Structure 1
Amino acid sequence: MMQLETNLEYSLLMGLTGVSVSKHLLDEHFTLLWANDFYYDLIKYSKEEYETLFHNRPDLYYKEHQDLWNVLAGKVYETIENKAEGYELVTQMPVKGGLRWIKLTSTFTDQLQDGIPMSYTVMTDVEDIMQARLEQTIAYENLPGFIAKHKIRKDGSFTLIEANDKYKHFADVDEGSFSSFTPFSRLDEKSRKILDGHVPLMQKGESVHFVIRSGSCCGNDIWLQLNGECIGWEGEEPVYLIVYIDITDITEQRELQKKLEERSVQLKEALITAEKANQAKSDFLARMSHDIRTPMNAIVGMTAIAGAHIDDKERVLDCLNKITGASKLLLSLINEVLDMSKIESGRLNLSDDELNIGELLQDLIVMMQPEIKSKRHKLDIHVMGIQHENVIGDTQRIKQVLMNILSNAVKYTPDGGRILISIDEHPSQDGIGNYEFVFEDNGRGMEPEFLEKIFLPFERADDRLIKGIQGTGLGMSISHKIIQLMGGEIKVESEYGKGTRFTVKMPLRLQERVAAETMKIQGLSVLVVDDDQVACQGTCHCLEEIGINSEWVCSGQEAIAIAVAKKRQKMDDEHFIVIMDLKMPDMNGIETTRLLRKEIGPDIPIIILSAYDIEEYEAEAREAGANGFISKPLFKSKLLQVLKKFTEEEDLKSKASPKKLSAADYTGKRILLVEDNELNREIAVEIIGSTGVSIDTAVNGLEAVNIVSRSAEGYYQMILMDIQMPVMDGYESTRRIRTLSRSDVADMPIVAMTANAFSEDVANAVEAGMNYHLAKPIDIATLMMVLDKYL
């Protein structure tokens, strides 16, 4: 009876509170043990409905609102984990017909039922309060301008307390950094003074209205009208609500309009430029033949010469060397055309090759010989102060730059013109040689307006006199980019109708010093005969550096006069060798040689020096008494080789003996060559077979897979794999070979040997499981390096 009375009193007390009160088990369901009438009034379900529908399980009650249940359950578990006495939570709760905002205040007890603790929860309806707050927030966020609540410190500084989203975006601040944010930090000096003048008024709590100019997070300045009202105090420091209205005046708007109009004009000009560029690209294929035909002519011509002198080994080897140089240049030009997107986007990579500047320039001149000859140009070459011939750089790119400039000089100079190439080396620093190449011509020159865009792609001078001259319009743009990547400089000077001068400065890393060759020459001297005084001085300088005395004259008459004088006076200091320029006015080198022979006899060697192909003059020169030939540009190493030939009486025929394709010996090794093109297979077998390696062949990727799968393990030491083949390409073939059930295929070297030569092709080869990528046409030196690496 006493317990019943106690429960009745408890229920009466809970009913008199006027709020929802409920009692729950802290189990996985938060089972409802008891609730007063206000609980059921709040959720709008009767007690019978709640028990029938949800079995006193809040988790079932929240079944259609899992997100709200997760919030509530998370709060309960957090309270239990923290061993707290209870929690408060404002959240939405499902009620019959919708959702309602409530405030839950829960207290955990030590009471147990079946060993499970219990809690009491008071739920207060806060729907009206939350709606009012939401409406206030919406109004706050939608007021015109930026709104912020600031506290004004005693020292006159401002602290940001609260702000709407517009202000936060304007000031680039978030709520987490309010305390560290400094308001009004983007004011100019004048606006700062205006603000400082109003601070004393605000410290008194007075209303303020003023205009300032402030920077925004976007970097632009705007004019703001500030309206501030004191809404409270924190101690002696006032709290202000300030509304910022953007009133950027009409003058600045007009200025913006003006800028927009200027921008519109710029965009139109850019569109016109783009259209011109597109037209230039459309014309590109029609104008590119010249650059490609130059090395092609050299290849065709040298092939014909070699065929006509098939029994002259020295001549054939010389032709083959020139064909090789032309082929490499032709390959670089083809890559230039095919790799246009890379060039335009600036994705050019430079390689580090060991190269000789003298040999590089000689290759360049050999390439241009047919055209120089056909246009009857006079070519002079000055070599000055070259201390280091052997350097490290991108051979093909350097040759490409110099070829572009020389080719332009030749084709844009009217017939019978003069072209001068000067090469100089400035003092080196930290192992870097500073080289300067100057190309001068007395050709058509360029008009000033074209000079400003000469390094833009696809640009050609709008000159009716050169309309018939073919060109890609890419050469100078690419040259400019290459020199920039090298850390060098290229500049052009030109006067229309008088000629052009290109100056290229490029830093090149020096190769390690090699001890200079010495020659056993004591007290001997060389006579240099050349109508170009600078060339004479350059040659004599080279001779002095290798320890040989020299003197020079600028005409054949002077050379003969010196020889006659020495003969009459019976001087003992006769010249050891005469170096004679081929092309000289009045009396050329051949005629001078013929007359010299009458004076000095047959014992003193006479070497013919020329910047031109000696081919057509060779027979006449030998008949006149010439002993040998040397080509310009004349570098110290080349001069040393020629002189050494005569001082040590080397066998000239040994120089013309055929070269082996490779000195390597891989006898006992076996490779599989996968190539669908019969001619390419023949070339590869010939070159690779020179190393003694055994070669099996397959004509497609599937055949390669079958051959490897049928072979004994360890039978092949390497696979050379083409990519584009019928039946199965090289990528798929490589993948299948790598997955064969054999122990040798995982580490077997597979090398791509393909015409797919772009950077993405290299990446695809690696991704397919290949070890290396060789681009066609195959560079023999690189091929031998790869064979050496894997065999």
Structure 2
Amino acid sequence: MKNKMETDSAGSVTVQSADYEYNTLMRLLGVSVSKHLMDEHFTLIWANDFYYELIGWKKEEYETCFHNRPDLYYADYQEEWRELTETVMDAIEKHLNGYHLVSKMPRKDGGHVWVQICNSFSDEYVNGFQISYTVMTNIDDLVRVQKEQSVTYSNLPGFVAKYRIDEDGFRFMHANDRFTESFDGFTENGLYNRITNYESEQNHAAYRQNFPLMRIGKPVRFTLQAKDRTGGDMWLQVNGDCVDWWNDNPVYLVIYIDVTDITEQRELRKQLEERSEMLHNALKSAEQANRAKSEFLSRMSHDIRTPMNAIIGMTAIAGTHIDDRERVINCLEKITLSSKLLLSLINEVLDMARIESGRLSLSEEEFSLSDLLQNIITVMQPSIMDKRHHFNIHAYGLRHEHVVGDPQRIQQVFLNILSNAVKYTPDNGEILFEIREKHSRIQGCGCYEFIFKDNGYGMKPEFLQKLFTPFERADDADIRSIQGTGLGMAISQNIVRMMNGDIQVESVYGEGSKFTVILYLEVCEEEKLDLKLEETFPVLVVDDDRIACETVCERLDEIGLSSRWVLSGEEAVEEVEKNHRRSEDFLAVIIDLTMPGMNGIETTKKIRAVAGPDIPIILISAYDWLDYEEEALAAGANGFVVKPMLKSNLVYTIKKYVLKENMESNARPQMQSERSYKGKRLLLVEDNAINREIAEEILGQTGFAVETAENGLDAVERFSAVPEFYYDLVFMDLQMPVMDGLEAARRMRGMNRKDADSVPIVAMTANAMKEDIEASIAAGMNAHLAKPLELELLYRVMEKYAGG
């Protein structure tokens, strides 16, 4: 459902971005942030590192001992637990949005730490229980300083006294001058039996009510009546706080404030001022949140438009070359790649949430480094060419091209780094991408080092310290206008670390940066490369980059071909002409496209002029060939290969252009299932007309007889009306009007018919979070496919549930 997906994605991005800003702020302040269920245990769902540092427990120990239940953690601290639960219940009963509390937090070492707890109730619910978010600030130092140093009594307003609360009364310790001049009643042993200098039942009642609380160290607030120096009546607000303990007896600091002349009007004014300040602060916070939200969405807009530009541009190119099958297929490949990149950008913010909560998972699949590199070049080429950068790729010692890992996440990391290199390097800059396979001490794994160098703006040392912090961007004048999310490097570092790798950065401000990514990838057994060539003449390699010449020649030697190399087009023409005169033409000529002076196309023309049409000429470049294809073919080039020329690329090139073998690219998108499901029926449940048309077309190409329903209720009625085992497969959207997909699946599973339990029901939805998948399975669905659909996964599901 396109419109719905866009609405949900945008809403999700907004919510998640606010969460990231809040969590990032909390980390910078060094406070504990946690998320709880509002059940009887206040179950802990998630907490940051400061939460565990605060209580002195490691996360794993805490989970093992207390099972994320704060009530078990407070088992030996019932008074603190009671105070906390009463505060929570009071806030709920008063319909407040949260609560604030200063309390003692128990620690693993048996001690405690004073914390200020700020809690907010959210609108989220899990399993019927409301979610709350808690921020705890360590105020232990402040409390202890207040307790140990007390106050300079003479500078405090009102009467100030310090008592030790013994079993039989108040034992006077210190007081300011105003107190000693106004009150009496001390016994010879320092025992003070009354609270003020005025005997009244109200004062005695206050004593009886608050003395037990003071014996256990609780703060007290109450009003007393007293006499001034002239004998006149006065009213005192008593504020007493326990500041220390002496031989199991609490020590209190008590401040008496004269409130006799405070009128109702003054109290009202105070309340209005407090509320005005609260509203001002709330408005200020809202404005800051809106600004941060706007800045974030602005940065995201730029990154989203890049693949959108590729999709729109390649669609236009395909439309103008509709009769050129190869060109259209190439455009479709790029549209597919850019679409995947666009989806990854939309999910970038969600990735941070998954990383923070430990829910980001990695796939394990076999892939080719050559394919990975060419995908990256395809995505990056438009922005590289737009800024006229000189881009090159060098590969050293790659013994294993086929590895096992998560190619999408690796590509995400590399694109993040390369995108930054392109953006933060002025026009006509130099960008180099190097790949090395180094010796690995891990059996069955190769150690791969990927290095990204640029001569761009570079970074200041102070920014390097926070480069991998979410939402952080350098604020230099030269790059202030360059947009970005501020999330890419934080995500990249976390992905690399999840792969047990490392990412390092070196940078000199004003000179450029160097990123090094080290990954350990499981290697696959390499296919034997057999060219079946008789003794031949050498291959000539032409490139102004000496390293590129040497590495290509090394690989030619590895596959059994001799080689020579030269560093310019002029030298290449001389070599070809000299060998042609001796009737010893080169087996093939491999020429770099973008050489200074005489470029690859000009060199090709001159070689054709002196050697004729028989020598295969292959152009190579770190850029794609579409913009040069027509001119290159007209000059006499036979084909084009994208750098770096790995061993498999060379074998493919020699077989295709020298041996004239019919080579089909493995990179073409699989547009339809290889298996036919003719004679089988499928029910497609989708409320969005465009999505329904797309799915119906794709599924119809497989041979299925596709029937459709526009909502869950329609699907239930259709299923109940047809004979048993009529449908072989059901694809069900989740979010639909009238009845959603989850309820529809539950009703179909609950029907009294033989196929109710067995008919495969597969979710086909834009709801792609982990909890959505769990909800689908819980409702009785067999599998979950996320939109936009990946054909390979779709066909795999069809084969599993309808291929028998």
**Same fold per superposition (TM over 0.5):** yes
Alignment of 1:500 onto 2:513:
yes
Q: Is the 1:280–1:458 Cα contact (8 Å) retained in structure 2?
A: no
Shift of 1:307: 0.9
Q: Do 2:670 and 2:791's aligned partners in 1 also have CA atoms closer than 8 Å? A: no
Match of 1:130 in 2: none
1:665 counterpart residue number: 676
What is the CA-CA distance between 1:619 and the residue it aligns to?
1.6
Letter in 1 for 2:719: V
Q: 1:700 aligns with which of 711, 716, 730?
A: 711
The one-letter code of the counterpart of 2:674 is A
2:559 paired with 1:546: yes
How far the C-alpha of 1:770 sits from its partner, in A, is 0.7
Measured at CA, do residues 314 and 216 of structure 1 come closer, stay the same or move farther in structure 2, by a change above 3 Å? Answer: closer
Report the counterpart of residue 197 of structure 1 in structure 2: none
Q: Which amino acid aligns with 1:467?
A: R
* 1:609 match: secondary structure: strand
Partner of 2:326: 314
Tell me if structure 2 keeps the 8 A contact 1:754–1:776: yes
| 1:427 is the counterpart of 2:439 | yes
The Cα shift of 1:610 comes to 1.1
Q: Structure 2: how far apart are the matches of 1:504 and 1:247? A: 61
1:457 aligns with 2:470: yes
How far residue 338 of structure 1 moved from its aligned partner, in angstroms, is 4.0
1:326 equivalenced with 2:219 (yes/no): no
1:344 deviation in Å? 3.6
Aligned partner letter, 1:743: K
**Residue 800 of structure 2: aligned partner:** 789
State the shift of 1:535 in Å. Answer: 1.1
Partner of 1:467: 480
Pairing 1:770–2:663 present:
no
Residue in 2 that maps onto 1:65: none
Deviations 1:85-128 (A, max 9, x none): xxxxxxxxxxxxxxxxxxxxxxxxxxxxxxxxxxxxxxxxxxxx
Change (3 A) 1:764 1:634: same
Correspondence 1:396 to 2:289: no
Which residue pairs with 2:691 in the alignment? 680
Q: Is the 8 A contact 1:519 1:644 kept in 2?
A: no
Summarize the alignment of residues 347-746 of structure 1 with structure 2, pairs less than 5 Å apart. Answer: 347-428=359-440, 429-568=442-581, 570-572=582-584, 574-651=585-662, 660-746=671-757
Q: Deviations over 1:20-53 (max 9, x none)?
A: xxxxxxxxxxxxxxxxxxxxxxxxxxxxxxxxxx
1:343 is displaced (CA, Å) by 3.6
Change beyond 3 A, Cα 1:694–1:521: farther
Match of 2:111 among 196, 207, 218: 218
Tell me the equivalent position of 1:126: none
Q: Distance in 1 between matches of 2:723 and 2:505?
A: 64
CA distance in 2, matches of 1:664, 1:720: 18
Shift of 1:340: 4.3
For structure 2, the 5+ residue unaligned runs are: 1-75, 78-107, 114-244, 249-286
Distance 2:451 2:753 in 1: 61
Distance 2:448 2:657 in 1: 32
Query: How many Å apart are 1:302 and its aligned residue?
Result: 1.2
Q: After superposition, what is the alpha-carbon deviation per residue over 1:321-362, rounded to whole angstroms, capped at 9, x for unaligned?
A: 111111111111111134543244343111112221111111
Residue 310 of structure 1, CA deviation: 0.7
- Please state how far the C-alpha of 1:430 moved relative to its aligned partner: 2.0
The residue aligned with 2:315 is 303
Deviation at 1:652? 7.4
* Larger RCO (CA under 8 A, 6+ residues apart): 2
After superposition, the C-alpha distances for 1:299-327 in whole angstroms (9 at most, x for unaligned) are 11111111111101011111111111111
Deviation at residue 412 of structure 1 after TM alignment: 0.5
Task: Give the drift of 1:246.
Answer: 7.3
The 1:654/1:334 distance shift into structure 2, 3 A limit, reads: closer
What SS is found at the alignment partner of 2:379?
Answer: helix
Matching residue's letter, 2:657: F
Listed as ranges, the matches of 1:57-76 within 5 Å are none
Aligned mate of 2:298, from 286, 291, 297: 286
Counterpart secondary structure, 2:503: strand
Distance in 1 separating the partners of 2:671 and 2:354: 37
1:616 is displaced (CA, Å) by: 2.3
SS of the residue corresponding to residue 745 of structure 1 reads coil
Residue pair 1:666, 1:691 contacting (<8 A) in 2 also: yes
Instruction: Measure, in 2, the Cα distance between the counterparts of 1:398 and 1:656.
Output: 18
Cross-structure match for 1:259: none
Do the aligned partners of residues 290 and 346 (structure 1) sit closer, same or farther apart at CA in structure 2, a change above 3 Å counting?
A: farther
Letter in 2 for 1:480: Q
- SS at 1:288's partner residue? helix
Amino acid paired to 1:520: L
Cα distance in 2 for residues equivalent to 1:519 and 1:453: 55
- What CA distance in whole angstroms lies between the structure 1 residues aligned with 2:554 and 2:306? 34
Unaligned runs of 5+ in 1: 1-168, 171-214, 221-244, 249-274
- Residue 519 of structure 1: CA displacement? 3.7
Matches within 5 A, 1:154-233: 217-218=110-111
Distance 1:395 1:465, change over 3 A: same
The offset of 1:703, in angstroms, is 0.7
- Cα distance in 2 for residues equivalent to 1:370 and 1:611: 12
Partner SS, residue 616 of structure 1: coil
Shift of 1:276: 9.5
In structure 2, do the counterparts of structure 1 residues 474 and 280 end up closer, same or farther at CA, with 3 Å as the change threshold? Answer: farther
Aligned-pair CA distance for 1:369: 1.1
Quick one: distance in 2 between partners of 1:281 and 1:457?
Answer: 14
Deviation of the 1:516 alpha carbon: 3.3
Q: Does the CA contact (< 8 Å) of 1:277 and 1:458 recur in 2? A: no
Structure number with larger C-alpha Rg: 1
Match of 1:237 in 2: none
1:714 and 1:319 map into 2 onto residues whose CA distance is 42
Classify 1:587/1:247 alpha carbon distance in 2 versus 1 (closer, same or farther; 3 Å).
farther
Structure 1 CA distance, aligned partners of 2:455 and 2:701? 50
> Which residue type is aligned with residue 341 of structure 1?
A
Deviation at 1:668, TM superposition (A): 2.0
CA drift at 1:282: 5.7
Q: Contact 1:765 / 1:773 at 8 angstroms: preserved in 2?
A: yes
User: Distance in 1 between the 2:436 and 2:668 partners?
Assistant: 35
CA contact (8 A) 2:671 2:791 kept: no
| Inter-CA distance 406–648: structure 2 relative to 1 (3 Å threshold) | same
Distance 1:433 1:655, change over 3 A: closer
Identity %: 56
TM-score (norm 1): 0.64
Equivalent-residue separation in structure 1 for 2:526 and 2:652 (angstroms): 18
Structure 1: distance between partners of 2:311 and 2:783: 30
